[in-house]
Amino acid sequence: MGGRESTMVLLDSEGRRCDGRRVDEPRRIMIKAGGLKNADGSAYIEFGDNKIIAGVFGPREVHPKHLSDTDTGILRVRYHMAPFSVGERKNPAPSRREIEISKVIKEALEPAVMLEQFPRTVVDVFLEVIQADGGTRCAALSAASVALADAGIPMRDMVAACAAGKVADTIILDVNNEEDQAGQADMPIGYMPGLEKITLLQLDGVLTPDEYKRCVRVGIDGCKIVYDLQKKALAEKYFGGQQ
């Protein structure tokens, strides 16, 4: 991003991106609720070539005990990339990047989860990236929401996430790995569609004020697409597909 412009053609003369998508077209998204028998709730997401499993445990007793809060439950999130999830083997130890992503996903979920109903407890969310291709934080956040709902944790809304960005001076929806590496901006957004509230917004790159507003609008449109698929995944598991 910024200063990493490559010679790769990110947008051709017909307005097609490096993977053949139109500027406003997301990658193929598949979400499944459930799947992990030992978790209280779980979900699996494929977002383009990203493949991520989410497992939720709790509400349960907090260990160590001094971390518990008598007024509310707490949320813990661990985002982790498997060593084989990227081209160059990733050290399995938590990196600074994984610690940051765990923190932003936790903060993006907190406004949605009604933790005040479960004082002194913890809800643990484990996010395992088994294949990464740009946009894992958005895909992981979207899967985490479905897994929390699958665990029966009361929620004010789902959090759906998608990135917008800028390549070849054009605003695009859902930034893939090449576009992230060689493009001009990447803006991951987490959004509660029912409450119309943004819970995650990061920006890597440089945008004008007008481009910034357009990116937010385009990113929210992407979140709404993800939201429909989240609801569909839960409906499939619990109501045989009827929403």
CA distances from 194 to 108, 152, 202 (A): 15, 18, 21
Rule CB under 6 A: is residue 90 a binding residue for ligand CDP? Answer: yes
User: CB of residue 101 vs ligand CDP: minimum separation in angstroms?
Assistant: 6
Q: Are strands 170-173 and 160-167 parallel, antiparallel or unpaired?
A: antiparallel
User: CB of residue 53 vs ligand CDP: minimum separation in angstroms?
Assistant: 15
Q: How many residues bind ligand CDP (CB under 6 A)?
A: 13
Q: Interacting stretch for ligand CDP, rule CB under 6 A, among 56-64, 131-139, 149-157, 166-174?
A: 131-139
Residue count (the chain): 243
User: CB of residue 218 vs ligand CDP: minimum separation in angstroms?
Assistant: 16
Listed residue (127, 126, 197, 202) closest to 160, CA to CA: 197
Using CB under 6 A as the criterion, what x/- string covers residues 150-169 for binding ligand CDP? --------------------
Rule CB under 6 A: is residue 124 a binding residue for ligand CDP? Answer: no
Q: Interacting stretch for ligand CDP, rule CB under 6 A, among 35-43, 115-123, 134-142, 211-219?
A: 134-142
CA distances from 2 to 5, 17, 65, 100 (A): 7, 19, 45, 21
Q: How many CA atoms lie within 13 A of 102 on its CB side?
A: 18
Residue 85 tokens read as 């999830």
Rule CB under 6 A: is residue 136 a binding residue for ligand CDP? Answer: yes
Name the site residues for ligand CDP (rule: CB under 6 A): 86-87, 90, 97, 132-137, 177, 180, 188
